[in-house]
Amino acid sequence: MPENKDAVSSEAPISAAQLRMQMLEREMAEMEKERKLRSLQEQKLADFAADFLEKHVTEQEIAVVRRLVANAVKDGKFEAMVYSFPSSLCTDSGRAINSADRDWPQTLQGKAREFYERYQTFGKPQGYKLKAMIINFPGGMPGDVGFFLDWSSDKA
């Protein structure tokens, strides 16, 4: 005998409590996924900070700066962002840079200080200018600092 497809199921529907439990489990799984992602991001930042504060600028990093400048010149530009780092790695979390305080270099640490000192030793005598700016504001707070190297003429 063929089955009647229009027959009403005698099986009871899933309860509202079971549906709420499924939703709660899904939310908990999503929260766990976000927690793991946040933990991974925090570890990456911690690793970057350790490298930034404890190690020296490498020849590869200097080569990257040179490539960025060369690419900007090819594009007809007179400025290039050559380095960036979290403002939290400044002694004042980037406040002096954000307010264009003339003493902003005193807040630099680690590789940022070393890049600045290299600029003072090699770049400035060759006519380059260096400026530091906050380049993003996540949640309205200073995010990353960008170092911009400029080789334009002083003549307007």
Residue 49 clears pLDDT 90, i.e. is over it? no
Grouping H, G, I as helix, E, B as strand and the rest as coil, residue 139 is: helix
User: pLDDT averaged over the chain?
Assistant: 91
Q: What is the pLDDT of residue 64?
A: 94
pTM to 2 decimal places:
0.73
> What is the pLDDT, as a whole number, of residue 26?
95
Do 94 and 104 form a contact (C-beta atoms < 8 A)?
no
Specify the range with the lowest mean pLDDT, choosing from 5-14, 57-66, 67-76, 132-141.
5-14
| pLDDT tens, position by position, 104-144 | 999 999 999 999 999 999 999 999 999 999 999 999 999 99
Q: How far apart are CA 75 and CA 117, in angstroms?
A: 27
Could you tell me if 64 and 81 are in contact, meaning their C-beta atoms sit under 8 angstroms apart? no
The identity of residue 26, as a single letter, is R
Confidence of residue 42 (pLDDT cuts 50, 70, 90): confident
The CA distance from 127 to 35, in Å, is 48
Which DSSP state fits 154? Answer: S
Helix or strand run (H / E) with residue 120: none
State the DSSP code for 144: E
Alpha-carbon distances, residue 105 vs 67, 82, 112 (angstroms): 24, 16, 9
Share of the chain above pLDDT 90, in %: 79
Q: Do 110 and 52 form a contact (C-beta atoms < 8 A)?
A: yes
pLDDT of res. 108? 97
Q: In terms of Cα–Cα distance, which of 89, 133, 137, 81 is closest to 114?
A: 89
What's CA 108's distance to the chain center, in Å?
17
The rounded distance, in Å, linking the Cα atoms of 141 and 41 is: 18
Q: What is the token pair recorded at 91?
A: 């002694």
